[in-house]
């Protein structure tokens, strides 16, 4: 009996698992994790961007419960809402971060980067850890492990 080449019900190629994403934020201006930053996750496959949900960073600056990516995802966007983090009352920041500088910015309640959006390409079956190194006047990201 010859197998029908168009029959995909018994494929010999296992389906790859979707890509997965994790992140954490370090506030390099004080050398501590950035706690309480809202992070939103969006994905795109062949169509438009789809908002998947989000999380907030914990005391270690990590988001441990980001939503899973759909199997067809080719691009991912992480949106970090950093303005509320930098606008926390200075007393709270100093208490939470011990040696936080008393004045982070030269303007009253000024935030230079109110949000950070990072977009990157993914392939199925791979994990992408994307740390954000943050300070009041700059940031950098990289693919971690």
Instruction: Name the H helices within the chain.
Output: 83-86, 90-97
Contact (Cβ atoms closer than 8 angstroms) between residue 25 and residue 132: yes
Contact (Cβ atoms closer than 8 angstroms) between residue 97 and residue 103: no
Distance CA 124, CA 82 (A): 29
Structure tokens belonging to residue 21 = 């994403």
- The average confidence (pLDDT) of the chain is 84
Residue 11: its pLDDT value, please?
44
Looking at per-residue confidence, does 105 or 35 come out higher? 35
Residue keyed to tokens 């980067």: 113
CA neighbor of 41 nearest in space, from 26, 28, 32, 54: 54
* Overall CATH class of domain 20-141: mainly beta
CA neighbor of 97 nearest in space, from 33, 1, 24: 33
Looking at per-residue confidence, does 109 or 56 come out higher? 56
Residue keyed to tokens 């009253």: 108
Least trusted range by pLDDT, from 4-18, 21-35, 77-91:
4-18
**pLDDT exceeding 70 applies to what percent of the chain?**
75
Q: What are the extents of the domains in the chain?
A: 20-141
Structure tokens belonging to residue 45 = 């496959």
Residue 10: its pLDDT value, please?
47
């Amino acid at each position: 009996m010859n197998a029908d080449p168009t029959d995909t019900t018994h494929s010999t190629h296992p389906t790859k698992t979707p890509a997965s994403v994790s992140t954490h934020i370090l506030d390099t201006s004080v050398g501590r994790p950035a706690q309480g930053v809202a992070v939103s996750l969006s994905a795109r496959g062949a169509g438009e961007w789809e908002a998947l949900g989000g999380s907030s960073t914990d005391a270690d600056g990590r988001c441990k419960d980001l939503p899973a990516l759909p199997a067809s995802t080719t691009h991912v966007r992480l949106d970090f809402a950093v303005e509320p983090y930098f606008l926390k009352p200075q007393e709270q920041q100093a208490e939470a971060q011990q040696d936080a500088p008393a004045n982070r910015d030269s303007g009253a309640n000024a935030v230079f980067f109110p949000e950070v959006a990072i977009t990157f390409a993914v392939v199925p079956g791979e994990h992408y850890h994307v740390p954000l190194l943050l300070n009041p006047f700059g940031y950098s990201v990289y693919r971690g492990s």
